[in-house]
């Protein structure tokens, strides 16, 4: 392990490398956080920091050492070119070596044509930090068989996880637009800018609440997507903040656990069977009058009077 510094003058020499953007990075699971202005990093990341520092010494551009994207872009490029990735992703890489099927980075659901969405790890395009991006995915352990972020900083996600993260991003943005003066009292005095920084935001993506049984479940291996009609019973049912639902205006995609999805699909099959049998009986009923005698058809028409036509004739 190597040591990286987040501010100038921390090391023994005043010319030691330092990178202020480290203050904005979320701390990975089981890692030691920033302590006395320094953190521990692996050899691969330290080599990338050395490359950034060399470019900074030549150009004296403060953005190189203060922008997180300057590090992440080089990191993803190095991972894609050299074929190496963090230790927590090695198992996922080995398990998908013989398969080209994409899976959701967060829940591990298989992604089929038309159902694959892309999440940005780095700020996309010219809009910078105004567009949704999720730096925490760099340190978040991916689901088994999930591909790591590519050289452009993109990961694949399913419909539910994609819209869930974007909704959480919108909540963070709305909180940041509130009055600044009253809100500062509830922010820790250590660094009041970190909670609102897009680079330091934390997201709830480990668990979800099943729409049907309302039990909290782990997301990986348990989240299932169920497609339902846009009925009021689903649209206006009480939901938890961790219940996942996507409404595209035509249908609903609902997050369910494995057991509830099986029950819903069984109910849907039963309904389809009833519909098929119902159509069969109605066809027989429609054929019976056709085979009846003209006299019986005339009697039936005399006994059945349309109220609208009867009123018009009167």
C-alpha gyration radius of the chain = 29
Across the range 136-149, mean pLDDT stands at 88
State how far the Cα of 191 lies from the Cα of 74, in Å rounded to an integer: 27
Least confident of 27-41, 147-161, 273-287: 273-287
Overall average pLDDT of the 168-187 stretch = 62
List Cβ neighbours of 9 (8 Å cut-off, separation of 6 or more): 18
Q: Which two tokens stand for residue 28?
A: 């990975």
Q: How confident is the model at residue 125 (pLDDT cuts 50, 70, 90)?
A: low
Q: Please report which helix (H) or strand (E) contains residue 69, including its range.
A: helix 68-82
Average pLDDT, integer, range 272-288: 62
Query: Helix 43-59 to helix 68-82 angle, to the nearest 10 degrees?
Result: 130
Is the Cα dihedral 87, 89, 95, 98 positive or negative?
negative
Distance between CA 200 and CA 217 in Å, rounded? Answer: 26
- The model's pTM is 0.60
pLDDT at 97: 40
Please check the confidence at residue 180 and state whether its pLDDT lies above 90: no
Among left, alpha and beta (phi > 0; psi -120 to 50; other), residue 210 is: beta
From CA 289, how far away is CA 276, in angstroms rounded? Answer: 22
Nearest to 260, CA basis, from 309, 208, 299, 305:
208
- Nearest Cα neighbor of 242 from 264, 268, 267, 217 is 217
Q: What percent of the chain has pLDDT over 90?
A: 29
207: enclosing H helix or E strand: strand 207-209
Higher-confidence position of 152 and 170: 170
Is 117 strand, coil or helix?
strand
Q: What's residue 164's pLDDT?
A: 97
Q: How many CB atoms lie within 10 A of CB 149?
A: 25
Rounded CA separation 139/149 (Å) = 11
Structure confidence at residue 178 (pLDDT): 55
Task: Locate 24 and state its tokens.
Answer: 């904005």
| pLDDT for residue 280 is more than 80 | no
User: How many angstroms separate the first and last alpha carbons of the chain?
Assistant: 98
Question: In sequence order, what E strands does 79-171 have?
Answer: 102-103, 110-111, 117-120, 154-157
Q: At a CB cut-off of 8 Å and minimum separation 6, what does 64 contact?
A: 52, 55, 56, 70
**Of residues 91, 41, 47, the one with CA closest to residue 33:** 41
**Is residue 111 predicted with pLDDT exceeding 80?**
yes
Dihedral pair phi/psi, residue 126, rounded to 5°? -85, -15
> What integer pLDDT is reported at residue 36 of this predicted model?
82
Q: What CA–CA distance (Å, rounded) separates 249 from 145?
A: 32
Across residues 22-28, what is the average pLDDT?
A: 78
What integer is the mean pLDDT of 242-262?
94
Confidence of residue 85 (pLDDT cuts 50, 70, 90): very low
> Which H or E element spans position 2?
strand 2-5
d(CA 136, CA 150): 15
Q: What's the pLDDT band for 184 if we cut at 50, 70, 90?
A: very low
């Amino acid at each position: 392990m190597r040591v990286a510094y987040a501010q100038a003058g921390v090391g023994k020499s005043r010319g030691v490398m330092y990178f202020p953007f480290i203050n904005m990075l979320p701390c990975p699971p089981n890692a030691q956080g920033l302590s006395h202005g320094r953190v521990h990093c692996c050899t691969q990341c330290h080599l990338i920091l050395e490359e950034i520092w060399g470019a900074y010494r030549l150009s004296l551009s403060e953005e190189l050492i203060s922008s997180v994207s300057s590090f992440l872009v080089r990191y993803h490029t190095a991972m894609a070119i050299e074929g190496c990735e963090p230790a927590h992703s090695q198992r996922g890489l080995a398990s998908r070596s013989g398969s080209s099927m994409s899976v959701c980075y967060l829940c591990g659901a298989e992604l089929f044509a038309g159902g694959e969405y892309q999440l940005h790890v780095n700020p996309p395009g010219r809009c910078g930090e105004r567009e949704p991006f999720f730096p925490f995915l760099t340190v978040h352990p991916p689901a088994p068989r999930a591909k790591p972020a590519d050289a452009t900083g993109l990961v694949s996600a399913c419909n539910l996880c994609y819209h869930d993260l974007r909704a959480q991003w919108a909540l963070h943005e709305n909180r940041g637009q509130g009055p600044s003066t009253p809100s500062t009292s509830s922010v820790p005095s250590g660094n009041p800018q970190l909670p609102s920084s897009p680079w330091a935001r934390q997201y709830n993506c480990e668990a979800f609440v099943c729409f049907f049984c309302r039990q909290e479940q782990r997301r990986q291996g348990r989240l299932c997507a169920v497609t339902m009609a846009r009925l009021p019973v689903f649209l206006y049912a009480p939901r938890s903040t961790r219940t996942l639902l996507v409404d595209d205006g035509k249908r609903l995609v609902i997050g369910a656990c494995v057991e509830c999805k099986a029950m819903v699909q069984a109910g849907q099959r039963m309904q389809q069977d009833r519909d098929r049998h119902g159509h069969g009986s109605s066809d027989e009923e429609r054929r019976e009058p056709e085979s009846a005698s003209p006299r019986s058809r005339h009697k039936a028409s005399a006994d059945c009077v349309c109220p609208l036509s009867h009123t018009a004739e009167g």
